[in-house]
Amino acid sequence: MDHTLFQYLLRMGDTTLVLSQRLCEWTGHGPVLEEEMAVANTALDLLGQARMWLTLAGEVEGRGRDEDALAYLRDAPEYRNYLLVERANGNYGDTIARQFVFDVWHYLLLERLQSSTDERVAAIAAKAIKEVAYHARRSSDVLVRLGDGTELSHRRMQAAIDDVWRHTGELFFDDEVTQALAGCGVAPLHESLRAAWQEHVCAILAEATLVMPPAEEADHPAHRGGVHGRHTEALGYLLAEMQHLQRAYPGATW
Amino acid sequence: MSRSTWPLWEVFVRSQHGLAHKHVGSLHAPDAEMAINNARDVYTRRNEGVSIWVVKAADIVASSPSDKEPLFDPASSKVYRHPTFFPMPDEIKHM
């Protein structure tokens, strides 16, 4: 049981950590100052959540690893994040598309985790969901503006949605970990989030005058595996940058 | 959405204990909704506020600096307009 919970906590912690690191790459490169601040705020929120998930993961594992050991001293195959969040940022529309599909899923998941039978999980979810509610509002707003903007922004936003779509299926994939945790009420079956996610995403895409790609295109097995440690090349580069200092100077502190 | 066409907005934030909204700065945004979102992200990151107002900078009518003397100088020599010459009973607080 503890091992299963550990795996699930790593998925939550690694997913928020990797997305945070990705979003940080916009710092100094944002399209306008206000957007850059918004992206950095989201990144900081996610980093705070990652710390809580990874700290709890370390406690549950019981081998004396803290948040830093888990974040900085694991290689890509030991990371358990969803493939969606390790994708490169692309253009700003690509970043917004990734953020939008993620935020809606994240909100729906945290909503269910708030009533987890594990009160530590419920407490983290209750704290995080307030932040994520704003993330979803913000990414939906920008998505609508870019989708329903100029001819060029519409075309790019549609291309971004089409491109990110194949990575959304993994978010709803259940395996022995989610099934076991659903059995004891710690976490929901992720498949049970899909209908609400599709409904919400469909409504916002319609508002943005964008076409929702066919549902079945989200579920190709080739685009799954992050939560089992099978990552794309992109994660290696991200971790190399993020872990550089700790790898070059083990145990460095300030 | 070219940056040059985004209007300037003035941002007012009411702090945790403040009764009035206070001017904190300005930002660019294409419309009011996004101005509120941007104000939240730029000016309330450190727990500064409980309420935000945004006003188009162009809609604010300001007094002219060249009118400073006729507008404000006459008030400087009229101390009797301050209610400091009334003895206040001790029971009255917050005056």
Grade residue B28 by pLDDT with cuts at 50, 70 and 90: very high
Can you tell me the mean pLDDT for B24-39? 93
Any B CB within 8 A of A145 CB? yes
Instruction: Please give the residue that has the higher pLDDT: either B47 or B54.
Output: B54
Q: Which of A34, A145, A150 sits opposite B41 (nearest CB)?
A: A34
Q: Report the CATH number at residue B55.
A: 3.10.20.520
pLDDT at B86: 76
Average pLDDT over all residues of chain A: 96
Grade residue A145 by pLDDT with cuts at 50, 70 and 90: very high
Instruction: Name the residue of chain B whose CA is nearest to A149's CA.
Output: B1
Q: Report CB contact under 8 Å: A34, B38.
A: yes
Which residues of B fall within a CB distance of 8 Å from A33?
27-28, 42
Give me the number of domains chain B comprises.
1
Can you tell me the mean pLDDT for A140-163? 96
Backbone angles phi and psi of B51, in degrees to 5: -155, 145
Listed residue (A108, A87, A197, A91) closest to A146, CA to CA: A91
Can you tell me the mean pLDDT for A204-209? 97
In a domain, B14, yes or no: yes
Q: Report CB contact under 8 Å: A32, B28.
A: yes
Statement: residue B3 has pLDDT above 60: no
pLDDT at B74: 83
What is the token pair recorded at A130?
Answer: 């307030």
| Among A69-73, A118-122, B9-13, B14-18, the least confident range | B14-18
In a domain, B93, yes or no: no
pLDDT tens-digit map of A90-127: 999 999 999 999 999 999 999 999 999 999 999 999 99
Q: What is the DSSP letter of B26?
A: E
Strand-pair category, B49-56 with B22-28: unpaired
Can you tell me the mean pLDDT for A168-189? 96
Residue A146, min C-alpha distance to chain B (Å) = 9
Instruction: Please give the residue that has the higher pLDDT: either A79 or B85.
Output: A79
pLDDT tens-digit map of A212-221: 999 889 988 8
Name residue A67's amino acid: E
Instruction: Name the residue of chain B whose CA is nearest to A141's CA.
Output: B34
In a domain, B90, yes or no: no
Using only C-alpha atoms, chain B has a radius of gyration, in whole angstroms, of 19
Q: Within chain A, how many helices (H) and strands (E) appear?
A: 11, 0
pLDDT at A1: 63
Residue A41, min C-alpha distance to chain B (Å) = 7
Can you tell me the mean pLDDT for A230-247? 96
pLDDT at B88: 79
In a domain, B89, yes or no: no
In a domain, B72, yes or no: yes
Any B CB within 8 A of A153 CB? yes
For chain B, the straight-line distance linking the first and the last C-alpha, in angstroms and rounded, comes to 50
pLDDT tens-digit map of A185-203: 999 999 999 999 999 999 9
CA A214/CA A211 separation, integer angstroms: 9
pTM (2 d.p.)? 0.88
Chain B residues interacting with chain A (CB cutoff of 8 angstroms): 1, 3, 6, 27-30, 33-34, 37-38, 40-42, 45
pLDDT at B95: 63
- Which structural domain, as residue segments, surrounds residue B23? 3-81
Listed residue (B52, B15, B54) closest to B35, CA to CA: B54
Which residues of A fall within a CB distance of 8 Å from B27?
33-34
Statement: residue A61 has pLDDT above 70: yes
Residue B38, min C-alpha distance to chain A (Å) = 6
Strand partners, B54: B11
CA A164/CA A97 separation, integer angstroms: 7
CB B6 within 8 A of CB B51: no
Instruction: Name the residue of chain B whose CA is nearest to A148's CA.
Output: B1
Which residues of A fall within a CB distance of 8 Å from B28?
32-34
Query: What is the interface size between A and B, counted as CB pairs within 8 Å?
Result: 34
Can you tell me the mean pLDDT for A120-139? 97
Sign of CA dihedral A219, A220, A223, A227: positive
* Enclosing H/E stretch for B13: strand B8-15
pLDDT at A165: 97
CB A107 within 8 A of CB A133: yes
pLDDT at B70: 84
Q: Report CB contact under 8 Å: A34, B30.
A: no
Half-sphere exposure of A247 (CA within 13 A, CB side): 11
In a domain, B94, yes or no: no
pLDDT at A140: 96
pLDDT at B4: 62
Q: What is the number of other CB atoms lying within 10 angstroms of the CB of residue A166? A: 18
Instruction: Please give the residue that has the higher pLDDT: either A8 or B50.
Output: A8
Listed residue (A18, A8, A4, A1) closest to A74, CA to CA: A18
Can you tell me the mean pLDDT for A141-162? 97
A120 CB-contact burial (10 Å; exposed 0-12 / middle 13-18 / buried 19+): middle
Tokens 């066919």 found at: A214
In a domain, B92, yes or no: no
Map out the domains of chain A with their CATH numbers.
2-248 (1.20.1260.10)
Any B CB within 8 A of A37 CB? yes
The maximal CA–CA distance of chain B, rounded, in angstroms, is: 61
Instruction: Give DSSP secondary structure letters for B75-89.
Output: GGG-GGGSTTSSPPP
Listed residue (A107, A87, A76) closest to A25, CA to CA: A87
